[in-house]
Amino acid sequence: MRAISYMYQQSGGCNHRHFCKECAYFEQRSRGVAKTGFRTGMPDYEYHCMKHPEHAEWNPVWLSCKGFTEKKPKSKSKKSSSSPLEDKKTKKVHQMTIMEFLGGEA
């Protein structure tokens, strides 16, 4: 049985809104550098699904299975933006009154 057929059978169908490469279980591993063909000298990759590990190779553009899980977005910086209007303990935004804006006491 083909890997894609087995995947859909085990999961109960496909999720037609997403591809396997968008799933959190999808993994791309480097195979080194291609030695033959038109891709000679370019990076070569192999693809795997961690949810269906019994199959060696995977295709990133297959429609995903029912076990699709969104990838967590990677944050580029861990710095928190601290605003003078933000309470650091509760992380709630404080709305300024007109008197605070004008410099008076509220």
- Which pLDDT score, from 0 to 100, does residue 5 have? 84
The token pair that represents 25 in the structure block:
């279980």
pLDDT at res. 66: 85
Q: Is 13 left (phi over 0), alpha (psi -120 to 50) or beta?
A: left
pLDDT at 81: 53
pLDDT for residue 62: 85
7 lies in some domain? yes
Give the pLDDT score at 4.
78
The string of pLDDT tens digits covering residues 48-62 is 888 887 776 788 888
Do the Cβ atoms of 34 and 45 come closer than 8 Å?
Answer: no
Give domain status of residue 43, yes or no.
Answer: yes
Instruction: Name the pTM for this structure.
Output: 0.54
Does some domain include residue 82?
Answer: no
Whether 86 is in a domain gets the answer: no
Q: How many domains does the chain have?
A: 1
**At residue 104, what are phi and psi to the nearest 5 degrees?**
-90, 175
Residue 77 falls inside a structural domain: no
Structural Rg of the chain based on CA atoms: 24
Bridge partner list, 4:
none
Per-residue model confidence as pLDDT tens digits over 72-85: 656 555 555 555 55
Q: Which residue range is the domain that position 33 belongs to?
A: 3-65
Q: Is residue 96 domain-resident?
A: no
Q: Is residue 29 part of a domain?
A: yes
Determine, yes or no, domain membership for 89. no
The yes-or-no verdict on residue 91 having pLDDT over 80 is no
Digit-coded pLDDT (tens) for 11-46: 888 888 888 888 888 888 888 888 888 878 888 888
